[in-house]
Amino acid sequence: MNLQKIYHDSDGNKCNILEIIKKEPEWAANIIQHYEAANQDLRKKLMDIISKIVNIGHNNDCLFCGFKDREAKEARMGYE
C-alpha cells in the first residue's frame, strides 16, 4: 500500500489513502465497487479473446474465420 500518495478529501485537505478512507468511507466503497465491476468486465473480455484464439480453425466463431468453405478459411489463415 502506498501511503506516500497524496489524495484530497471533499474539503480539499491533503491526506493519504488510510485517512481518506476513514474520512470518506462512501468514496472508498464507490471506488472499490467501480474497480470490481471494471475488473469483471476485463475478465469477460479476456476470456472472450482467449476463447476466440483457442478456437482458431475449429469453427465459424473463431477470430480469423467467417468463411463457409475450408479453402477460404485456410487461405485467410495462411495455410495455402
Q: Is residue 1 part of a domain?
A: no
* Measured distance between the N- and C-terminal CA atoms of the chain, rounded to whole angstroms: 54
CB 26 within 8 A of CB 16: no
Residue 51: predicted pLDDT: 80
Q: Which amino acid is at 10?
A: S
Q: What residue spans of 1-80 are helical by DSSP H?
A: 17-23, 25-54, 70-77
pLDDT at 67 over 60: no
Please tell me which residue, 71 or 14, carries the higher pLDDT value: 14
Would residue 48 count as lying in a domain? yes
Could you list the residue range(s) of the whole structural domain that residue 24 is in? 7-77
Q: Residue 28: which residues within 8 A CB-CB, separation 6 or more?
A: 20, 21
For 34-47, b/e burial (b = at least 16 CB within 10 A) is eeeeeeeeeeeeee
Examine the pLDDT at 38 and tell me if it is beyond 90. Answer: yes
pTM of the model: 0.53
Domains contained in the chain, number = 1
pLDDT at residue number 65: 55
pLDDT value of residue 64: 55
